[in-house]
């Protein structure tokens, strides 16, 4: 696990976009797992900037988003379909047929639908690089606390903490979704490389438990300790409860010196 400490959101976005861009340049057919949420906005902005500059071509990239709210259509302003279009897809050259986001409008046969999403990932050759944020409760995707480490794409009931965090984005009186379709932790752990971003003091406890705590279903992101190629990029506020910050800085210095390809 590589822990990259950055000052703020801007530095994180730049570093993450550089890493994603480098990976796309080395493998134009990259199968890229994507996330939504406030933490990702700066990363997508930077990727769009690199694309417009002419240095980044997404024409052969295939994408799979982690999750979508159940009950929201692709045009709902709070849907993840809408988020992805607004912040990323409308501004780059990813072929529409290469974009995969779980369908929040399905009304039945959930297990069958979710098995089909897993199958699509499998048929594409698996995810090469998965981008993740983290919830205050340690969720990745919508794998809420107590999710099984072996879980696959499925319907998931959202926790009280997640509902509270999300309700502010919905219009007054509008009920926010109570369920989502999300890739499972087992699905995420099969990605060849994982990149998790976290900013802000509200994430500090979850980040510390994920990196330095025991692997536990109570903190879904701690399961990433079982993966062989995970990079956390976190800002000072989100890193504030880590006890080994000096060590992570020294590892970073040596990584830059000995294996700089891990950072680009
Ligand atoms: C979004 C997702 C979530 C978010 C997490 C952090 O696709 O899967 O796990 O990454 O809730 O969200 P922000 O960045 O808004 O704090």
Band the pLDDT of 210: cuts 50, 70, 90: very high
pLDDT of residue 108: 95
| Residue numbers annotated as active site | 67, 137, 139, 144
Counting ligand 1 atoms within 8 A of each CB, the residue from 39, 45, 133, 220 with the most, and so the one to mutate, is 133
Question: Residue 167's pLDDT band (boundaries 50, 70, 90)?
Answer: confident
Sign of the torsion formed by the C-alpha atoms of 90, 96, 102 and 104: positive
Mean pLDDT of 125-143: 98
Residue bearing the bigger pLDDT, 165 or 51: 51
The pLDDT value given to residue 77: 95
Please name the residues in contact with 53: beta carbons below 8 A apart, sequence gap of 6 or more. Answer: none
Q: How far is the CA of 55 from the centre of ligand 1 (A)?
A: 28
* pLDDT tens-digit readout, 26-68: 999 999 999 999 999 999 999 999 999 999 999 999 999 999 9
In our burial notation (b when 16+ CB lie closer than 10 A, e otherwise), range 14-43 reads: bbbbebbbebbeeeeebbbbbbbbebbbbb
Ligand 1 atom 2 nearest Cα: 141
Q: What is the pLDDT of residue 45?
A: 98
Rounded distance, CA 130 to CA 64, Å?
Answer: 9
Tell me the CA–centroid distance for residue 136 and ligand 1, in Å: 9
Q: Which of the four pLDDT bands, split at 50, 70 and 90, describes residue 168? A: confident
* Whole-number pLDDT of residue 107: 94
* pLDDT surpasses 90 at 249: yes
Distance CA 61, CA 27 (A): 9
pLDDT in tens, 212-229: 999 999 999 999 999 999
CA 178, chain centre distance (Å)? 20
249 C-alpha vs ligand 1 centroid, how far in Å? 26
- Determine the atom of ligand 1 nearest the C-alpha atom of 67: 7
139-149: b (≥16 Cβ within 10 Å) or e: bbbbbbbebeb
Q: What pLDDT is stored for residue 213 in this prediction?
A: 98
| pLDDT the model gives residue 195 | 98
pLDDT number for residue 33? 99
- pLDDT, the chain, mean: 97
**Once rounded to an integer, what is the mean pLDDT over residues 106-113?**
97
pLDDT for position 165: 87
Residue 19 has pLDDT above 90, yes or no: yes
Ligand 1, residue 182: give the atom nearest the CA: 8
- What distance in Å separates the CA atoms of residue 20 and residue 105, rounded to the nearest whole number? 30
Q: What is the pLDDT of residue 100?
A: 98
């Amino acid at each position: 696990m590589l822990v990259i400490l950055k000052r703020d959101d801007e530095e994180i976005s730049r570093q993450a976009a550089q890493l994603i861009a480098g990976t796309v340049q080395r493998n134009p057919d990259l199968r890229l797992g994507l996330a939504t949420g406030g933490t990702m906005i700066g990363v997508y902005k930077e990727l769009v900037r690199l694309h417009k500059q002419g240095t980044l071509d997404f024409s052969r990239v295939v994408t799979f988003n982690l999750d979508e709210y159940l009950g929201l259509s692709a045009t709902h302003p709070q849907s993840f379909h809408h988020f992805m279009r607004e912040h990323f897809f409308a501004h780059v050259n990813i072929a529409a047929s290469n974009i995969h986001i779980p369908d929040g409008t399905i009304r039945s046969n959930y297990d069958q639908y979710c098995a089909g999403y897993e199958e699509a990932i499998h048929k594409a050759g698996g995810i090469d690089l998965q981008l993740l944020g983290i919830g205050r409760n340690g969720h990745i995707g919508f794998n809420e606390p107590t999710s099984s480490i072996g879980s696959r794409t499925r319907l998931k009931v959202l926790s009280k903490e997640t509902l509270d965090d999300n309700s502010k984005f919905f219009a007054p009186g509008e009920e926010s979704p109570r369920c989502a379709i999300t890739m499972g932790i087992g699905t995420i752990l099969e990605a060849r490389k994982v990149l998790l971003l976290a900013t802000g003091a509200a994430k500090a406890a979850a980040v510390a438990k994920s990196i330095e705590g025991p692997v536990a279903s109570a903190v879904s992101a701690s399961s990433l300790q079982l993966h062989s190629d995970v990079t956390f990029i976190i800002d000072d506020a989100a890193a504030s409860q880590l006890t080994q910050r000096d060590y992570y800085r020294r590892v970073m210095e040596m990584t830059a010196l000995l294996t700089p390809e891990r950072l680009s």
